[in-house]
Structure 1
Amino acid sequence: MKNVYKKGLISLLVLLMIMPLACAHNLYIETDTSPGIPVNTPHEIDAKILFGHPDDPESFYLADMRDIMIYTPDGTSYNLDPEARDNYWLVQIILEQPGDYILVAERQPSVYNPKSHGGPDEPRLTVEHAKTVINAGTQENWYLTPDIEFDVVPLVNPYNLRSGDTFKAQILFNGEPIEGTYMAAPADQDIHSQNQAGKTDENGIFSVTIDKPGMWQVQGQFAVEEPGTWEGTHYEYTAYRTTMTLWANPSHDSRVSELEYQLNEVQDANSKLQKEVNHISSHLESASQASSQPLAYAGFGIALMALVLVGWIMISQKRK
């Protein structure tokens, strides 16, 4: 069987070279939760199952789904019934327990021949999954593996990432490490541009540099060269791919820079306010010496207090 896997890997490398031409769509998941911020349970969230490219929203269309499963922190799992929207599937998930939930979607397998887009005449059966980890508390079980044929398993916390971090993962075929290929990209880039792509090591392990904040797609791929037929259509091999959705926060350095910038703004505003206070104080002193009327002194005093109050309001707004 190892020889079959090796042949499959060679075929898949050819497939990776023609993918940009084929503009292959990806199955992936988006949720409405914030990265690194656990929600309080019980809590209901929405998740979208999309088929297309996040950098090209017009590419989306409804994929024929085979299964959508949620794996809960206590190890149980159940199917979700999706609602069809214009160009994506919507599922609602109730997070009842604290911990990590793993959402997995699988579309119906389909046969595709690269020949239709100018590639070699090598029809393949594509088996595709999408997954993401949803954090709902301090308990961590993001490393658990759902019951799927081909999986991308994180080796580091996938929802505690920041820009500049390295995401490390491993691909498994039928629960066993296997050498394959990978590719990754942020949401505003085409994953098929292969800016970060390559072969895993012999144990299926690979690393991706998260060089910007926001949503990322990380995809593992593997092929088995074994001819067959699917719904009456012949194929030469089966291509497996699973796309994991990640979210990365801005780096600590960028957050510190932002706070330093805000502090400088507050200090500048405070400096300008102090100059105005000194200026009014000077005028107030001159006016009080030139006039014996108490009302004039009181008027300048009130003006000074009002200016100080306005200044501190401005500073408070900048601090926010």
Structure 2
Amino acid sequence: MRRLYLSLLVVAGLVALGSGHMLFAVFPEEVSEASDVNIWITYSHDAEGETAPQLARAEVIGPAGTEGLSLAERDGGLAGTVEVGDPGCYILDFEMEPTFFDPAWIGFSGAASFLPKAGRAVIPVGSAGDCAFSSGEGLEIVPQGDMGALGLGDRFRAEALWNGEGLGGDYAAMVVKSPQDVLTVLHASDSEVEGTTSDGTIEFDLSSPGLWVLSFEATVEESGTWTATSDDPSGRYREGESLDYDQIAPTGYLSFWCGR
């Protein structure tokens, strides 16, 4: 089995050496209605001095509608509270500040890529029912079936969508927190599952209980121009600069619990 950073190289090439993060949310395995749920969004990257993820958007999609999520830096991640009301499916939906990579920067030939990254976490409460929410925008990993009933040995199913349509690509899934773990700070380990899908359909058996993170990577052959929303940490571009790309290389993550 490969480490996650090797998987990331498939999409972004050598750019992963500098930004090979895995974006996911940590939250309790069991959540009751009418409660406040503490969540923590992290890279799970063990580089010394790592900063919290830079998010462009963070919101909660629940039975009562969509609300913005207030977050504050804590322990190298972003902490917040989700107010849970009625039973149902609560989805944390968050998006990183996108980036850009041109192989010519490091002396290689190849396509310049626009690199959006998005994450979701599914928090089922009571009879959660269907959690297959899709906004129809960007890259989404949309789970299928009742996420509240997932247990060891069950078959997990999801669809990877790009602007609402199935998208082929590579995926990997791993367990980042077991039910008995009490530590908050987590680090990625070996993948439990790895595969490729031609149409966005993802299926695998849940081999361990715990908090799973599914990552999906793809390449969309679409050119365009991106206006940088922030400065590149390496100084290769500045906020407001227009950058032409040859392709889009999106990455998506989905966090969910598998019970015992």
TM-score where L is the length of structure 2: 0.75
Aligned to 1:29: 25
In the alignment, is the contact (CA less than 8 A) between 2:42 and 2:76 conserved in 1?
yes
Q: Which amino acid aligns with 1:241?
A: T
Q: Which amino acid aligns with 2:193?
A: Q
CA shift for structure 1 position 205: 0.4
CA deviation map 1:251-292 (0-9, x unaligned): xxxxxxxxxxxxxxxxxxxxxxxxxxxxxxxxxxxxxxxxxx
The 5 A counterparts of 1:250-269 are 250=260
Larger fraction in strand: 2
In the alignment, is the contact (CA less than 8 A) between 2:172 and 2:216 conserved in 1?
yes
Give the alignment partner of residue 222 of structure 1, picking from 215, 218, 224.
Answer: 218
In the alignment, is the contact (CA less than 8 A) between 1:50 and 1:60 conserved in 2?
no
Aligned to 1:81: 70
Query: Unpaired runs of 5+ in structure 1?
Result: 1-11, 251-320
Aligned to 1:106: 95
Q: CA RMSD in A?
A: 3.0
Matched, 1:238 2:234: no
CA deviation map 1:131-182 (0-9, x unaligned): 1111222242312224642111112333432233221111111112222322
Query: Unpaired runs of 5+ in structure 2?
Result: 1-7, 178-186, 229-240
C-alpha change, 1:59 and 1:150, in structure 2 (3 Å) is farther
Q: Distance in 1 between matches of 2:245 and 2:43?
A: 22
Aligned to 1:166: 155
Aligned to 1:71: 61
Higher relative contact order (CA 8 A, sep 6+): 2
CA shift for structure 1 position 79: 1.1
Q: Which amino acid aligns with 1:236?
A: D
Once the two structures are aligned, what percentage of the paired residues are identical?
Answer: 22
Q: Distance in 2 between matches of 1:211 and 1:120?
A: 41
Aligned to 1:43: 35
Q: Which amino acid aligns with 2:69?
A: L
Which segment drifts farther, 101-110 or 233-242?
A: 233-242
In the alignment, is the contact (CA less than 8 A) between 1:185 and 1:217 conserved in 2?
yes
Matched, 1:92 2:119: no
